[in-house]
Amino acid sequence: MAQDNNLNSARQRVKVTQTAGRDALGDFAPEFAHLNDDILFGEVWSRNDLLSLRDRSLVTITSLISQGITDSSLKFHLMEARKNGITRTEAAEIITHIAFYAGWPKAWAAFRLAKEVWNDDVKGDDAKAQFQREMIFPIGEPNTAYAQYFIGNSYLAPVSSSQIPFANVTFEPGCRNNWHIHKATQGGGQMLVGVAGRGWYQEEGKPAVEILPGTVIHIPANVKHWHGAAADSWFAHLAFSVPGENTENIWLEPVTDQEYSKLGE
């Protein structure tokens, strides 16, 4: 407790000034405008020596997203969160974490606004930088560890290593992984969630399935398959490893240009 008191006394309180209530509702609801500007922000948000502005932003956006509120109020608080030090990568992780507790559709709706708020954090005008602006998850680093199992360049950005491990995998146009199998004696397999761009998933002996943002692909264990980008589009998906017993990834032959060229026929 003494340590907490020392930390609080070392943090200087910063007065928060807000006029949004009076600007929008000063004539129609002056008392509400006063409570919003002078009490909520002027007093509660100003107690930032006890709880930092960054942490207050985190609590607020979590509350709004959990209630399914994705209007201008959420965008305002996402902008405040960015101003208060929450990074693009942290925003993606925060909303992903919320999804497991508040619901997947609420997270998708929040990502739409978060992409707009943190869009300026991406620098550059090349195709890769432009694609990064389409999604909140980072493209990550070149997927060198598995490059031998891919045609074209792919990128890997681990998102979470606890609870349910998953990563964001990005493919340049035309990039795809080899045919492969997620072996398991019980459970196992993989789940993909399309994040941005357009891609394909195909099981052996079955037609290819198009993956768009929001598409969910459930890959059973012990099924030969591949996935990757469309020929004319960058593509990214989240890859979730499904827990199982005696799991192992078996990498097989590449997807030939002839097989790939027939997609969508």
Segment 83-109 shows an average pLDDT of 93
Q: pLDDT tier at 108 (50, 70, 90 boundaries)? A: very high
pLDDT band at 160 (very low <50, low <70, confident <90, very high): confident
User: What percentage of residues in the chain have a pLDDT greater than 70?
Assistant: 94
* Mean pLDDT value of segment 131-153: 93
How far apart CA 73 and CA 119 sit, in angstroms, is 18
Predicted local confidence at residue 10, as pLDDT = 56
For the chain, percent of residues with pLDDT exceeding 90: 80
Q: Residues 211-224: what's their mean pLDDT?
A: 97
33 has pLDDT over 70 = yes
Query: Cβ contacts of residue 185 below 8 Å, gap of 6+?
Result: 244, 245, 246
- pTM of this prediction? 0.66
Q: Has residue 2 got a pLDDT over 50?
A: no
Higher pLDDT: 126 or 90? It is 90
Q: Which of 174, 126, 178 is nearest to 153 (CA)?
A: 174
Determine the average pLDDT of the residues in 128-136.
Answer: 90
Q: Is 173 helix (H, G, I), strand (E, B) or coil?
A: coil
Structure tokens that stand for 18 in this block: 């807000």
What is the rounded average pLDDT for all residues in the chain?
91
Non-local CB neighbours of 222 within 8 Å, separated by 6+ positions? 181, 182, 183, 184, 188
Q: Which CATH class is domain 2-121?
A: mainly alpha
pLDDT digits (tens, 9 = 90+) for 171-205: 999 999 999 999 999 999 999 999 999 999 999 99
Is 238:137 a contact under the CB 8 Å cutoff? yes
Per domain, the residue ranges of the chain are 2-121, 141-261
Q: Which residue from 205, 191, 183, 190 is spatially nearest to 249, judged by alpha carbons?
A: 183
As a whole number, mean pLDDT of residues 141-168 equals: 92
* Contact residues for 190 (Cβ-Cβ < 8 A; gap 6+): 182, 219, 239, 240, 241, 242
141-261: which CATH number, 2.60.120.10, 3.40.190.10, 2.40.40.20, 3.40.50.2000? 2.60.120.10
Q: What's the pLDDT score for residue 7?
A: 46
pLDDT band at 35 (very low <50, low <70, confident <90, very high): very high
Give yes or no for residue 6 having a pLDDT over 80.
no
pLDDT at 1 > cutoff 50: no
pLDDT higher than 70, residue 4: no
Distance, CA of 59 to CA of 191 (rounded, Å): 30
Q: What's the rounded mean pLDDT across residues 204-228?
A: 97
Separation CA 143–CA 150 (nearest Å): 9
